[in-house]
Amino acid sequence: MSPRAGLDKQTLVLAAAELADELGMEGVTLAQLAARLGVRSPSLYNHVNGLKELRTLLAVFGLEQLYAVMSASLVGVSGEAAVHAISRAYVTFAQQHPGLYDTTLQAPEQGNAELEEAGARTLQLIISVLSGYELGRTGELHAVRGLRSILHGFAALRNKGGFGMPLDLEDSLTRLIDSYIAGIGCMRTGD
């Protein structure tokens, strides 16, 4: 009567990611996920420790995907073009995977090793893009904070419909990155 659905952690996370992008982050429930996988919800506990762990796994998965597209965007480009490329990759990912993108920030379980590792890798990638500007050790960190703020803010506002005006969004992002690069000297420190 129960011919083994053959589930595992990976399958759950992939299905949950679909759910997130289709229904939004709040649509990721164990009940929904179980229904989609053709199983009763308590069965999911054989593979995952509950909703909280599922959300953490989803966050790690999302960060890995995000890292992948950002990293891929950098092949063969450098300097200003690299800043633009990684920015477009970030925002495009957030647009194409709105639910999954949301989970990457609503980190429910802090202190999680994999989560912090995935975050740290992304950080390093952004640092590498900015290394050409000779910003200094702490200046580099200010600059990374700045770029992350810009990218998350733009992505989130666009995804939530925060930009009401009928004005080209690509153009807005390009200009915002251009202005960031133009003013990047303000980040420079002497260390």
Positions touching DNA (CB under 7 A) are 1-8, 29-32, 39-43, 45-47, 50-52
Question: Contact 143/187 with Cβ under 8 angstroms?
Answer: yes
Integer-rounded Cα Rg, in Å, for the chain is 19
42 is in the binding site of which of DNA, a second copy, none (Cβ under 5 to 8 A by kind)?
DNA
Size of site (CB under 8 A) for a second copy: 41
The one of DNA, a second copy, none whose footprint includes residue 101, by CB under 5 to 8 A per kind, is none
Under rule CB under 8 A, residue 150 binds a second copy: yes
Shortest reach from residue 153's CB to a second copy, in Å: 3
Structure tokens at 45: 């506990």
Q: Does residue 76 touch a second copy according to CB under 8 A?
A: no
User: Smallest distance, Å, CB 22 to DNA?
Assistant: 14
Angstrom distance (rounded) from CA 118 to CA 64: 6
74 is an interface residue for a second copy by CB under 8 A? no
Give the span between the Cα atoms of 166 and 169, in whole angstroms: 9
Considering all CA atoms of the chain, what is the largest pairwise distance in Å, rounded to the nearest integer?
Answer: 70
